[in-house]
Amino acid sequence: MKGYLPCVGLLVFAGSFTFVMVPDEHQAVVPSFTQPVSSLPTVVIDPGHGGNDDGCKGHGLLEKHVCLDVGLRLEKMLKSYNFPTVLTRRDDRYVSLSDRVAQANKHEEALFVSIHFNSATMGSISGVETFYAHEKVPQEADWMWMGFFSKAAASTPPDRGETLAGFIQAALVMKLDSANRGIKTKCLYVVRHTRMPAVLVEGGFLSNAMEAQLLTNADYRDRLAAAVAEGIVSYQRTRPRGAVPSLAGANPSSKY
């Protein structure tokens, strides 16, 4: 992997060799320390689709419902780690892509995680994958808010989210024992127009009978949300600010 953390690619690669998973005790995340909220970035959680936009469908599931359920679980877990959180939607309503981005870009220090699920014409296709931006859109209107950002700051290459994607993907593969479809770049509006590190997580295929059945189970959705939370915590450990939570002692329970 390019950039300042070459070990992330190894983490994702290693995750593909996980064969046996022991289910977690799915309880609320209880961190073993008290971390000041002001030292951590706001995590903007973006449950995909909503309202008249169902997303994909499969085996009795609508993507918009699963996205919101996992998003709410993720919020609860991150709050237990003292991360400030924002959800782009909290109920079954339509939110435009530009409004999702606008909500995220109000925050000076933030991470953006969009939750989605996949579909394919072949029911045998399965697995999880995480997308990040090939490049950020350097529109001044998208990158300036309330005078926080100067032209000098705008000249610094933005974090495209590759490292964040790597940590989240590794946690998903190891915690869910799911097929590793890797981290990839894709021209997705919400990861390109957000000024912070941003990823879009595809948490499984609703078109795959086995994965759809797993996603009907609340414990499995807890595991999925916990994996994303662990990936965020692991990523935050690499940040220079140094104020990061510890997982020790915790029990975490176009189209776009």
Mean pLDDT value of segment 30-47 = 70
Chain mean pLDDT for the chain: 83
Answer whether 0.75 is exceeded by the pTM. Answer: yes
Query: CA 196 to CA 132: how far, in whole Å?
Result: 11
pLDDT of residue 241: 61
Q: In 3-state terms, what secondary structure has residue 80?
A: helix
**Between 138 and 121, residue with greater pLDDT:** 121
**Between 39 and 103, residue with greater pLDDT:** 103
Mean pLDDT value of segment 222-250 = 81
Contact 83, 107 (CB under 8 A): no
**Between 18 and 233, residue with greater pLDDT:** 233
pLDDT of residue 250: 52
Q: Is the pLDDT of residue 35 over 50?
A: no
Contact 83, 41 (CB under 8 A): yes
CA angle 103, 105, 107 (to 5 degrees): 90
Q: Is the pLDDT of residue 23 over 60?
A: no
Contact 60, 208 (CB under 8 A): no
pLDDT of residue 246: 56
Which pair of tokens denotes residue 127? Answer: 């697995």
**How far from 4 is each of 75, 163, 164, CA to CA, in Å?**
28, 8, 12
What is the radius of gyration, based on Cα positions, of the chain? 17
Tens digits of residue pLDDT in 149-166:
445 445 578 899 999 999
**How far from 171 is each of 8, 36, 89, CA to CA, in Å?**
11, 25, 25
Q: Is the pLDDT of residue 36 over 60?
A: no
pLDDT of residue 240: 75
pLDDT of residue 6: 42
pLDDT of residue 122: 97
Tens digits of residue pLDDT in 167-221:
999 999 999 999 999 999 999 999 999 999 999 999 999 999 999 999 999 999 9
**Between 57 and 10, residue with greater pLDDT:** 57
Q: Where are the domains of the chain?
A: 38-237
Query: CA 33 to CA 224: how far, in whole Å?
Result: 23
Residue range 38-237 forms a domain whose CATH class is: alpha beta
Share of the chain above pLDDT 90, in %: 69
Mean pLDDT value of segment 10-23 = 39
Share of the chain above pLDDT 70, in %: 72
Tell the burial category of 239 from Cβ atoms under 10 Å away from its Cβ (0-12, 13-18, 19+): middle
pLDDT of residue 105: 96
